[in-house]
Amino acid sequence: MTLTRAKRARCRARRPRICGVPLPCGGAHPRPLRFRTWLFTIPVISLIFVAGCNGSRHDVTDAGLDVKPIGAPIEIKTPLGLPPVPIPPGAPETAETVALGRKLFYERKLSMDNTLACASCHNPLLGFTDGQRHSIGVGGKVGIRNAPTLVNAAYVPAQFWDGRAHSLEEQAGGPMANPIEMNQAHEVTVSKLAADPVYRAQFAKAFGAGLVTIGKVTTALAGFERTLISGNSPFDQYEFGGNKSALSPAAVRGLAIFRDPKRGNCAACHTIDKSYAVSENSRKTGTVPGSPPEDPQSSFRVGRRASAPFALFTDGKFHNIGVGVNDEGELTDLGRYSETKLEADKGAFKTPTLRNVAKTAPYMHDGSLKTLKDVVDFYAGGGNSNPYLDKEIKTIKLSGADRADLVEFLKSLTGEMPPNVGPPENTQMGRLK
């Protein structure tokens, strides 16, 4: 049976995609699919559709926010230069969930062949990245994007380079099921963990009596990831702590370039703010301090602002900066457009934080720039021209000394990490790259 032109158009509009490529409509088949064929095809399509962290959407609901821990809420201590950590409603941080999430973060059972953990792509020794241009999954499968850092991820309202996850809970569930990452269905992950009496006891301690569920898994993982907060860097001590000797003369010059709209103009996207929401209501509702309402589906909301110093070094928005353009001037990755279908979002990716940036090479969503010097040189050149280039990206005149000073400033953003974020004792970590 063939499709009419109108039906085919409707099919194209709503059909699922794999890495941005649409699956064929029914009319593409020369004859009707038989019942047995559909029995085979449906689970295969379902498996493919969960692909996520490296470029296509995964079918993961935000179930973690429906699972409430039973322990006493704890406060995440924030260092100099950062605002209070936003906590989503219904998922308070507790000592038990954080401890469970920390163990799960380094757990290899979350992958199909028990070789990979979350820490395989988010290694604490590498600024919670993996040091690879593109992440490598189960069986050596190579992704299409660079692993972003998890440091200070709690402050941004959308996760992944394209912002397709609306919370850390949703983000935590994606790589497990992604065929080119951990490649393991959530049901299998849950069954592995539930078969372990130690894990069963830890889940009960964190969430009360009941079954192990994927919602509890992602809630615990997200709870741990919210503790990955880094601040009190030399920059923070200079800017907010009043220690004017904390930065070298070169870094001070670099900071001036960073802020100057006519020179570096870096702060246009990598923001240095002076106030944030500190109301009690904002703490209860999970306000992202100073962030715009970028994502209406996010569990975070903007609250009223009050005077308090901080710097996130990201605006939490999406920009086309001219990365990922081939020799023909074509975009090799559509980025945010894959989620919004807005023409202006083509080639746009989330602004990454610059905190601890000296530890997270290589850079950009495709890992194409190896060093901070390469990054500065790229921006000085105005990026690669394309029809969707952000208006803030333009050629800037920086001398060799200016560029070296800017790199020195970026190095000054390396801050302190809290204790107890590495692997727990007696943990067999997944394969690290």
What pLDDT shows up at residue 90? 79
Phi then psi dihedrals of residue 389, to 5 deg: -60, 135
**What's 234-274+309-411's CATH class?**
mainly alpha
Q: Which residue has the tokens 């100099």?
A: 80
Q: CATH 1.10.760.10 spans which residues of the chain?
A: 63-225, 234-274+309-411
pLDDT tens digits in sequence order for the chain, 433 residues long: 444 444 444 444 444 443 333 334 443 333 333 333 333 333 333 333 333 345 434 333 334 445 899 999 999 999 999 999 999 887 899 999 999 999 999 999 999 999 999 999 999 999 999 999 999 999 999 999 999 999 999 999 899 999 999 999 999 999 999 999 999 999 999 999 999 999 999 999 999 999 999 999 999 999 999 999 999 999 999 999 999 999 999 999 999 999 999 999 999 999 998 654 433 333 333 444 444 334 443 333 333 343 468 999 999 999 999 998 888 888 999 999 999 999 999 999 999 999 999 999 999 999 999 999 999 999 998 888 899 999 989 888 999 999 999 999 999 999 999 999 999 987 665 555 4
Tally of CB atoms within 10 A around 423: 17
For residue 153, CA distances in Å to 125, 225, 358, 379 come to: 17, 8, 17, 24
**Cα(22)–Cα(327) distance, rounded to whole angstroms?**
25
- Tokens 């241009």 identify what position? 133
63-225 fold: Cytochrome Bc1 Complex; Chain D, domain 2 (1.10.760)
3-class SS string, the chain:
CCCCHHHHHHHHHHCCEECCEECCCHHHCCCCCCHHHHHHHHHHHHHHHCCCCCCCCCCCCCHHHHCCCCCCECCCCCCCCCCCCCCCCCCCCEHHHHHHHHHHHCCHHHCCCCCCCHHHHCEHHHCCECCCCCCECHHHCECCCCCCCCCCHHHCCCECCCCCECCHHHHHHHHHHCCCCCCCCHHHHHHHHHCCHHHHHHHHHHHCCCCCCHHHHHHHHHHHHCCCCCECCHHHHHHCCCCCCCCCHHHHHHHHHHHCCCCCCHHHCCCCCCEECCCHHHHHHCCCCCCCCCCCCCCCCCCCCEECCCCCCCCCCEECCCCCECCCCCECCCECHHHHCCHHHCCEEECCCCCCHHHCCCECCCCCECCHHHHHHHHHCCCCCCCCCCCCCCCCCCCHHHHHHHHHHHHCCCCECCCCCCCCCCCCCCCCC
Report whether 50 contacts 60 (CB < 8 A).
yes
d(CA 285, CA 299): 8
259: tokens are: 């802020």
* Structure token pair of residue 4: 């009419």
The whole-number pLDDT of residue 395 equals 85
